[in-house]
């Protein structure tokens, strides 16, 4: 009587390893896509937060701030004119920056010459196309802007 050895053959082990490798590869791609979607959702939320602060600023000050007043990491404060727009008024404690670290992408703010309208632009990783932010297709860091929020 021939005794059978128990265990897996080399081919069976290779098949299992191959299947596990394919599943890990698919998971990594799906995880990357979810992370991009999450960063895009944060970008939209950041622009809405800035938009809300700009609307309150306009209510107090009569117009939107100059482009130089809206800088990532800096507070949005009143400019002192009129008196309802006191420089002690803080409309946003810190202008948000793009969630992808390293400065690859940036938010862009463009106020019209009379500061009665504005555009806020960003690059969405899962977005497509381009948007016109300031009379041309502006860059939002290393890529062309493809998402825009304007005053209502």
Residue 133 corresponds to which tokens in the numbers above?
């932010």
Q: How many domains does the chain have?
A: 1
Whether residue 143 is contained in a domain is answered as: yes
* Residue 113 CA: distances (Å) to CA of 23, 70, 78, 116: 55, 15, 18, 8
- Contact between residue 108 and residue 130 where contact means Cβ atoms under 8 Å apart: no
Kindly state whether residue 142 falls inside one of the protein's structural domains. Answer: yes
Give a yes or no: residue 103 inside a domain.
Answer: yes
Whole-prediction pTM value? 0.79
Q: Is the peptide bond before 82 cis (omega within 30 degrees of 0)?
A: yes
* Domain membership of residue 128 as a residue range: 47-150
CATH of the domain at 95: 3.30.700
10-residue averages of pLDDT along the chain (152 residues)? 76 93 90 91 94 92 89 89 85 92 83 85 89 76 87 72
In a domain, 65, yes or no: yes
- pLDDT given for residue 135 in this prediction: 66
Q: Tokens 């939002």 sit at which residue?
A: 140
State the pLDDT at residue 79: 84
């Amino acid at each position: 009587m021939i005794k059978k050895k128990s265990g897996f053959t080399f081919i069976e082990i290779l098949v299992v390893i191959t299947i596990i490798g394919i599943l890990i590869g698919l998971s990594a791609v799906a995880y990357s896509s979810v992370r991009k979607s999450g960063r895009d959702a944060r970008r939209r939320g950041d622009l809405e937060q800035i938009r809300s602060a700009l609307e309150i600023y306009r209510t107090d000050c009569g117009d939107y701030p100059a482009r130089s007043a809206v800088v990532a990491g800096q507070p949005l404060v009143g400019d002192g004119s009129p008196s309802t727009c006191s420089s002690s008024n803080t409309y946003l404690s810190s202008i948000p920056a793009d969630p992808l670290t390293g400065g690859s992408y940036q938010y862009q703010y463009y106020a019209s010459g009379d500061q009665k309208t504005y555009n806020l632009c960003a690059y969405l990783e899962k977005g497509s196309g381009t948007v016109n932010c300031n009379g041309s297709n502006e860059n939002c860091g290393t890529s062309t802007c493809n998402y825009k929020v304007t005053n209502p």
